[in-house]
Amino acid sequence: MTNKVVIANFKMNKTIRDTKEYIAELIPLITTSKVVVGICPPFTAIKSAEHKLKATNILLGAQNMHVEDKGAYTGEVSGEMIKEAGASFVILGHSERRSIYKENNILINKKIKKALKLGIKIVLCVGESLAERGQDKTEEVLNVQLSEGLKDVYANEMGNIIIAYEPVWSIGTGKVPTNEQIAQAMQNIKDTIKKLYNAQIANSTIVLYGGSVNENNSKDIASIKGVSGALVGGASLDAKKFAKIISNFS
Ligand code: 13P
């Protein structure tokens, strides 16, 4: 049995000071070793978070990175930069990046390959919009996002990639799919990975659920077949709530 994985995505929340205080509060609240915990603060707080996390098993990630190594990309941050700051993994393909910043599967695929080259692990987010679910296109959307996102990613690199199923309509809305809908999406994701690679890789790939996970619904979500953990936005901003979610996955 692989451990469960629970990751906090702060999005554009928390200053350096907030992040340091949060970590100090969170560390003593984590009482299980059965859950791999990760936090993704904004770029500015990664370095100071690294200092605070030194004596812990908590992993540190970034929420994005640019596809190029360096150059005239005002306002952007490269993979090398997040790695130097202390991030061991990066969230790629988040629906907010896809919708607000128009990132498509081709770009996301390039970023994945760049991260792999730099030795940065990846949480690849996939998920359907409400309209796509309404049109019964969830399976197709997941299939396309995975096959295009993972294009030319080798089987022996898949151990460095976690998939997060985040239905767009569930992010920040308080709306959670039914357990059956989540289980079905998990199955679709595993089936696609099996087609792209093989059954062993499909089995061993960690798939998280993300979208309105909180301290009250996480125990139930943790029990769903195929769910290996959670990617948490809003509820992760409160160390006590996030710690409760972690314990609900243990
Ligand atoms: P919420 O938990 O706020 O719905 O956000 C989920 C998310 O987007 C995590 O990446």
- Ligand 1, from 122, 212, 214, 238: best to mutate by most atoms within 8 Å of Cβ? 212
Q: What is the pLDDT of residue 36?
A: 98
Q: What is the pLDDT of residue 217?
A: 98
Q: What is the pTM assigned to this prediction?
A: 0.97
Q: What is the CATH number of domain 4-248?
A: 3.20.20.70
- Ligand 1, from 96, 176, 232: best to mutate by most atoms within 8 Å of Cβ? 232
Ligand 1, atom 9, lies closest to the CA of 233
Q: Is 213 in the pocket of ligand 1 (CB under 6 A)?
A: yes
Q: Is 245 in the pocket of ligand 1 (CB under 6 A)?
A: no
- Span from the CA of 13 to the centroid of ligand 1 (angstroms): 12
- Span from the CA of 173 to the centroid of ligand 1 (angstroms): 9
- If DSSP codes are grouped into helix, strand and coil, which group holds residue 81? helix
- Span from the CA of 71 to the centroid of ligand 1 (angstroms): 31
Whether 131 and 140 have beta carbons less than 8 Å apart is answered as: no
Nearest alpha carbon to residue 231 among 208, 197, 203, 202: 208
| Segment holding 162, helix H or strand E | strand 161-165
**171 Cα nearest atom in ligand 1:** 4
Query: Helices (DSSP H) in 150-216: which residue ranges?
Result: 179-196, 199-204
Tokens of 115: 């991260």
- pLDDT profile of the chain (250 residues), mean per 10: 88 98 98 96 98 96 98 98 98 97 98 98 98 97 98 98 98 96 98 98 97 98 97 98 98
Q: Does residue 94 have an active-site annotation?
A: yes
Other C-beta atoms lying within 10 Å of the C-beta of residue 14: 20
Residue type, 85: A
Map tokens 């994701």 to a residue. Answer: 189
Residue type, 193: I
Bridge partners, 5 (sequence order):
36, 229
Q: What is the pLDDT of residue 3?
A: 83
Q: Is 38 in the pocket of ligand 1 (CB under 6 A)?
A: no
Q: What is the pLDDT of residue 2?
A: 63
- Span from the CA of 216 to the centroid of ligand 1 (angstroms): 15
Per DSSP, 157 falls in state G
